[in-house]
Amino acid sequence: MKIKKLNRVIISIISFCLINMVSCNVYAEVINVNARAAIAIDSKSKRVLYEKNSDMILPMASTTKIMTALVVIKYGNLDEKITISKTAAGIRGSTVGYKEGESITERELLYGLMFRSGNDAAIALAEGIGKSIDGFSKLMNEYAAEIGAFNSHFESPHGLDSENHYCTAYDLALITAKAKENKLFNDIVSCKDVVAEDMDFTRDYHNINKILYQIPGANGVKTGSTGKAGKCLVTSVDIDGHDVIFVVLNCTPRWKETGKIYKYVKDNYSYKKLYSKDELIAEVPVNKKNKIKLSLKNDLVLPCENNKNYTTKYVVPKVATQTVNKGDNFGKIQVYEDDKLVYSEPLIAANTVNAHNSIINNFFKRVNRE
């Protein structure tokens, strides 16, 4: 009985909880941005570089179509044609001008959706992929939850005002960061013009997103405007080879204010490489001969605020009590800015080690023999 109790005590001492999380750091407002809500995040690390009311529930107009595009890319067959219905052809607001009975590929409809903010393209895609607006909206909400956009709810693929259609600036940035992982999405939103004969489309398309012409390195993403949502804009800009996502909601001077936040980020942050992929970060002993070697899956590169001190530490157990396979998450690395945690990600086992003959198991064997 005493031995079992001792075993439990020792196990509780050496056990630890792995936390795979990204710290969402909210910074005090340091510039005056004329928007109801706004945010800037690093697309890869999700580190927040600027925010104003970023967790406020708001309508988001046609920036909704970022999620629409994501669902289409995930569930659709882009070379399949969809017949434009009477409902799609008759939708109000911004449209491409598709006619009832036209047959358009999903790929072309995506360009109409993102270039011209076509509500007719949105309805056609929803009917073709989700079989109905409600069916497609269900897919949108499920995907939003997968991404971690928990304060969002979608009732349509186009974003026209409705009571239970809303998002937050932070959620919209997360959704956009997910979309930016996809090459096709990037190809579409970064392009300014498409010629029909080059793409085997039914018509030419011109991108109405003015930000592509206003900020150096801008590579997307989507405009939006309704009476309830006001002027909205989601922007992606390549800064030193890294995408930074900017969101402004209910922002009449959306081009100007996005430029203001961009300048703030550009002036106050620099990307720093803290560790290289596969660089040895830590070792954890398993027995007298073997150790688990821990590294990172990718280079650790973060936007670091100028004139701030950054330190890193790793959280791992003193010894390993179970078999660990190469590629397993094991422990984590943390990044601190002036002693404040700003980022965390898992460490990865660089080798496979069998823990059957581990230090702790050998200890228990000796105790039990006694």
Residue 267 pLDDT > 70, yes or no? Answer: yes
Residues 299 and 241 both lie in one domain: no
Catalytic residues, by residue number, are 62, 65, 117
**What percent of the chain is predicted at pLDDT more than 90?**
83
**What percent of the chain is predicted at pLDDT more than 70?**
88
- Measured from the Cβ of residue 117, the count of other Cβ atoms closer than 10 Å reads 27
First to last CA, the chain: 13
In a domain, 21, yes or no: no
Last residue of one domain, picked from the residues 244, 269, 294: 269
For the domain that residue 288 is a member of, what is the CATH number? 2.60.410.10
Residue 3 pLDDT > 50, yes or no? Answer: no
Residues 297 and 258 both lie in one domain: no
In a domain, 23, yes or no: no
In a domain, 81, yes or no: yes
- Measured from the Cβ of residue 138, the count of other Cβ atoms closer than 10 Å reads 14
Residue 266 pLDDT > 90, yes or no? Answer: yes
User: Which residues contribute to the annotated binding site?
Assistant: 222
Q: Return the exposure string of 101-116: e unless at least 16 CB atoms fall within 10 Å of the residue's CB, then b.
A: ebebbbbbbbbbbbbb
Mean pLDDT of 279-303: 92
Residues 217 and 360 both lie in one domain: no
Residues 230 and 98 both lie in one domain: yes
Domain total of the chain: 2
Last residue of one domain, picked from the residues 269, 288, 318: 269
User: Which residues contribute to the annotated binding site for substrate?
Assistant: 222
Q: Are 294 and 282 in contact (CB under 8 A)?
A: yes
pLDDT at 354: 84
Closest by CA to 160, choosing from 102, 232, 219, 213, is 232
Mean pLDDT of 341-360: 81
Structure confidence at residue 321 as a pLDDT band (50, 70, 90): confident
Mean pLDDT of 181-189: 97
In a domain, 214, yes or no: yes
Structure confidence at residue 357 as a pLDDT band (50, 70, 90): low
Residues 291 and 360 both lie in one domain: yes
Last residue of one domain, picked from the residues 239, 254, 269: 269
Residues 253 and 146 both lie in one domain: yes
In a domain, 69, yes or no: yes
State how far the alpha carbon of 129 is from the alpha carbons of 74, 139, 145, 200, 222, in Å. 10, 10, 19, 21, 22
Residues 328 and 235 both lie in one domain: no
Lowest model confidence (mean pLDDT) among 18-22, 267-271, 280-284: 18-22
Strands 291-295 and 205-206: unpaired
Dihedral angle over CA of 155, 160, 162, 168, nearest 10? 70
What does the alpha-carbon distance between residue 294 and residue 326 come to, in Å, rounded to a whole number? 9
Domain encompassing residue 365: 276-369
In a domain, 341, yes or no: yes
| Amino acid residing at 60 | M
Residue 361 pLDDT > 90, yes or no? Answer: no
State how far the alpha carbon of 141 is from the alpha carbons of 145, 185, 240, in Å. 6, 19, 33
In a domain, 89, yes or no: yes
Half-sphere exposure of 59 (CA within 13 A, CB side): 20
pTM, entire model? 0.86
List, for residues 53-110, the tens digit of each pLDDT value. Answer: 999 999 999 999 999 999 999 999 999 999 999 999 999 999 999 999 999 999 999 9
In a domain, 96, yes or no: yes
Residues 200 and 295 both lie in one domain: no
pLDDT at 356: 63
Closest by CA to 38, choosing from 276, 185, 230, is 230
Q: What is the DSSP letter of 281?
A: -
Lowest model confidence (mean pLDDT) among 3-12, 66-75, 190-199, 249-258: 3-12
Would you call the peptide bond into 248 cis, given omega within 30 degrees of 0 as the criterion?
no
Taking all residues of the chain, what is their mean pLDDT, rounded to a whole number? 90
For the domain that residue 236 is a member of, what is the CATH number? 3.40.710.10
Residues 242 and 280 both lie in one domain: no
Mean pLDDT of 156-161: 98
Residues 196 and 299 both lie in one domain: no
Residues 282 and 229 both lie in one domain: no
List, for residues 105-152, the tens digit of each pLDDT value. Answer: 999 999 999 999 999 999 999 999 999 999 999 999 999 999 999 999
Residues 252 and 283 both lie in one domain: no
